[in-house]
Amino acid sequence: MSSLPITQAAPAGATVSNTAGPQAAASASAPGAAAQESLSGGLILLLALGTGVSVASLYYSQPMLGVLSGAIHASERQVGMVPTLTQLGYALGLLLLAPLGDRYDRRNIILIKGAILALSLLAAGLAPSLGFLLAASLAVGLTATMAQDLVPAAATLAPVQHRGRVVGIVMTGLLLGILLSRVISGVVAEQFGWRAMYVGAAVGIAVIGVALWRGLPRFAPTTSLSYGALMGSLFSLWRQHPALRRAAVAQGLLSLGFSAFWSTLAVMLHEAPFHMGSAAAGSFGLAGAAGALAAPLAGRIADRNGPESVTRLGAGLAALSFLAMAFAPLLPDTHSKIMLIVAAAIGFDFGIQATLVAHQTIVYGIDPGARSRLNALLFTSVFVGMSVGAALGSLALAQWGWMGVVGLTTLAAVGSLLVRLTARRR
């Protein structure tokens, strides 16, 4: 990747120093000075890698629950609290910690979170009891929000004309981190034990932290609000910016459909006519690779044609892909049914991830001085959509079976498309 020239004003959240380590503070220019930086391909790769490695921390425990249950002498229900508390910590971190990127030097926040995340993963790997592991899991979730500091950092560093492409590349790292985390965790836990997975993850975060300390420039704070006022400004931003509300609602609806499908897939495949095990359901996760491919492509299209068109195309593709699965019961054999579901999963995953990158491009352009808070609001809506989708998906499956889930996911995607079409008319 070639270097991208940057000319950003410090009050808009631009870097004020490209030095790192002990000399960085002395090199910072006064607030308000224009910053001349070079966003190299190496720095973009570092941001993408850091995002992927940090968000992967949320998912390492999931394939290891069976091993954990016997290793720490806990019931399956008790061990199930490990990923639950990790996700709860991430939700709290999104809401309570992510906005701090506007108040303080985002570089310092990233480094502090990285250090605590490495220690939390190490504590999980050395946990002598279930209670200790649960506490460490909550801390992992809170500090894994480091990923949501790196994405706004990339948007701030990128020149406006290339912001979509840069955000897309960094989001590719995030999506690959989610996709590969379970695979890596399962293999490492089986070969070397669950503790080795946590310790190895801690070492990986520490290495990335050192690289970020050396390579990440400083960022000028864009506000001097107190923490209470900073949190209160989230409501003000929500009220003031219709574009933010539309992006959050549209992406939240897509996340609802996404979660409703994936949270019920294993149950659906277990029943007639498929009669397939959990391993087969897990292999469907490889369709997530489509999302990783969608992110940089969507960013380039957003830079060239505008993000609005990408949101409509992405939501439309997701709606058509969900609807296509309604025809699966009509196909003559199980193999054909499976192929249709795989194709549909690739289609809606591509559409949803492309729309997310476009929504990020829109949101980051609303108010450069509030990017961390805007990002927190956008991803809080995504998390809420995922949670609601899991609950409604289970209800729809219990009441109406396969067609109930297909109907729910299709309606959610159509709702998202209508939100984007309404934005176009306005």
Q: Residue 354: inside a domain, yes or no?
A: yes
Task: Identify the domain boundary among 183, 198, 220.
Answer: 220
Q: Residue 20: inside a domain, yes or no?
A: no
Rounded mean pLDDT, 217-234: 93
Residue 17 has pLDDT above 80, yes or no: no
Cα distances from 187 to residues 32, 114, 180, 235, in angstroms, run 50, 24, 11, 44
- Which value, in Å, is the radius of gyration of the alpha carbons in the chain? 21
Q: What six digits make up the tokens of 73?
A: 């002498």
Q: Residue 13: inside a domain, yes or no?
A: no
Among 83-87, 294-298, 419-423, the minimum mean pLDDT is found in 294-298
Among 273-282, 357-366, 367-376, the minimum mean pLDDT is found in 273-282
Rounded mean pLDDT, 37-42: 71
Domain co-membership, 210 together with 261: no
Written as one letter, the residue type at 14 is A
Q: Residue 69: inside a domain, yes or no?
A: yes
The predicted structure's pLDDT at residue 20: 40
Which domain range does residue 346 map to? 234-425
Written as one letter, the residue type at 97 is L
Domain co-membership, 207 together with 239: no
Domain co-membership, 195 together with 93: yes
Q: How many domains does the chain have?
A: 2
Domain co-membership, 245 together with 165: no
Domain co-membership, 76 together with 169: yes
Q: Residue 207: inside a domain, yes or no?
A: yes
Residue 2 has pLDDT above 90, yes or no: no
The predicted structure's pLDDT at residue 416: 97
Residue 355 has pLDDT above 70, yes or no: yes
pLDDT band at 8 (very low <50, low <70, confident <90, very high): very low
The predicted structure's pLDDT at residue 282: 55
Domain co-membership, 238 together with 212: no
Domain co-membership, 60 together with 166: yes
The percentage of the chain sitting over the pLDDT mark of 70, rounded to a whole number, equals 85
* Rounded distance between C-alpha atoms, residue 421 and residue 426, angstroms: 9
pLDDT band at 24 (very low <50, low <70, confident <90, very high): very low
Q: Residue 175: inside a domain, yes or no?
A: yes
Domain co-membership, 202 together with 238: no
Give me the CATH number covering residue 180.
Answer: 1.20.1250.20
pLDDT band at 30 (very low <50, low <70, confident <90, very high): very low
Task: Identify the domain boundary among 192, 220, 248.
Answer: 220
Residue 18 has pLDDT above 60, yes or no: no
Tens digits of per-residue pLDDT, 110-127? 999 999 999 999 999 999
Domain co-membership, 272 together with 366: yes
Among 43-57, 143-157, 192-206, 289-303, the minimum mean pLDDT is found in 289-303
Domain co-membership, 339 together with 302: yes
Among 131-145, 176-190, 236-250, 377-391, the minimum mean pLDDT is found in 176-190
Domain co-membership, 171 together with 243: no
* Rounded distance between C-alpha atoms, residue 329 and residue 351, angstroms: 24
Q: Residue 417: inside a domain, yes or no?
A: yes
Domain co-membership, 199 together with 248: no
Tens digits of per-residue pLDDT, 162-210? 888 888 889 888 888 887 887 788 888 888 989 999 999 999 999 999 9
Residues 6+ apart with CB under 8 A from 174: 48, 51, 52, 55, 147, 151
pLDDT band at 16 (very low <50, low <70, confident <90, very high): very low
Return the SS3 of 58.
coil
The predicted structure's pLDDT at residue 426: 60
Residue 371 has pLDDT above 80, yes or no: yes
Beta bridge partners of 5: 38
Helical H runs in 103-226? 106-125, 130-143, 147-157, 163-192, 194-215
The predicted structure's pLDDT at residue 33: 33
Higher pLDDT, 293 or 392: 392
* Rounded distance between C-alpha atoms, residue 183 and residue 60, angstroms: 9
Please state the pTM of the whole predicted model. Answer: 0.78
Task: Identify the domain boundary among 172, 190, 220.
Answer: 220
Q: Residue 25: inside a domain, yes or no?
A: no
